[in-house]
Amino acid sequence: MKNFFIIILDGVGIGELPDAKKYGDEGSNTLGNMALALDGLNLPNLARLGLGNINEIKGVPSVSNPLASFGKMNEVSKGKDSTTGHWELAGLNIQTDFSYFPNGFHKKIIDDFISLTNCKGVLGNKAASGTEIIKELGAEHMRTGFPIVYTSADSVFQIAAHEEIIPLEKLYEICDITRNKILVPPLNVGRVIARPFIGNPGNFSRTTNRKDFSLDPPEETLLDLLYKKNITTIAIGKINDLFNYRGIKIKEKTKSNLEGCNKLIEYASKAEHSFIFANLVDFDVYFGHRNDPAGFASALSEFDAFLPNFLDILDETDSLIITADHGNDPTTPSTDHSREYVPLLYFIKNVDGENLGIRKSFSDVGKTAADFFNVENNLNGKSFKKNKLN
């Protein structure tokens, strides 16, 4: 029904980029290393699309007649964050890097945080795994009421709080103040993230009430361009947060891959002449950051099982791109994102797949989507639409 779908498999990289050494990510290969660690992946539907034709992935064979065109993409923007990855996919080239705080936030930032949020104090203030820091400081947080503030290798200011100690609306208010009154220029922090959790000492767990407070993209993205042309833009999941809700007509918040896949089925069935941009975040959040290759592979298998029904609903006027925003290799010691190529699968029903090679920029995706809708644009990238269906 003349719809263009982009599905982001968050964190599903396919091998280190040439500049991976700058980021400490030499040897990272999310799909390849995970397949080796588990003696193969079972992804028959992604294999039929051509995933195994991109790189060697144990258990995912190359096929002679892939259903989709295939390739991989190089990231030209600085960093390895979800924000820059998605912005580049939407046509931008981000060469102004974000602010990072590997040793914790500066004293002035913390002093301003305490003063403006009336929180009285903070715990943490260091780079840490989200699950580990609530294990470490959750009990003290419950005793003192102080929020847990932490960061990672990404440009993030994360605030963890027990939902019974700092209610959700209060936590979101604290994040809003942090975003708009504290982390202001010249600071350039990509996201403030509310990280609520529940439970008791020794048995804490994060909830699905996470909320991101992002920067606006610095230039017009694919979403902005389509929105201005009255093309219905539908964002599913984390897309809404990463673009700070800009250029989006229909906002679908989801709390799991399952919810995201259900929304994709819904819009594949009813949308017309629409752009549907979805992020499936579970791979990254629950398995990449937690160094859990078995869980990661299981989530990929669940997505693979979803594909036949979804592809069956699409017709010959629809286009689908499946890709990622960065890597998150669960087999390396690091629990952070990894600087990797991302896979590219481009599907149109009943059109033979071909090799799209190594694309110079993630922005080729945004350029292709703009061309699909015949929208004049100055987005970065090179369209590969002509390789499929004119």
Instruction: Give the end of a domain, one of 197, 214, 231.
Output: 214
Residue span of the structural domain in which 117 resides: 107-214
Write out residues in the chain with pLDDT < 70, as ranges. Answer: 386-390
Report the domain count for the chain.
2
326 and 277 co-located in one domain: yes
Same domain, 137 and 173: yes
* Closest by Cα among 362, 284, 286, 281 to 329: 284
Q: What integer pLDDT is reported at residue 23 of this predicted model?
A: 92
332-to-9, 21, 37 alpha-carbon distances in Å: 19, 14, 11
Q: Domain with 290 in it: what CATH number?
A: 3.40.720.10
pLDDT for the residue numbered 96: 84
CA dihedral 100, 105, 111, 113 (to 10 degrees): 60
pLDDT in the model for residue 386: 58
For residue 84, how many other CB atoms are within 10 A of its CB? 27
Supply the pTM of this predicted model.
0.90
Domain final residue, candidates 187, 214, 241: 214
Residue 70, pLDDT score? 98
Query: How many whole angstroms separate alpha carbon 240 and alpha carbon 261?
Result: 16
Same domain, 45 and 194: no
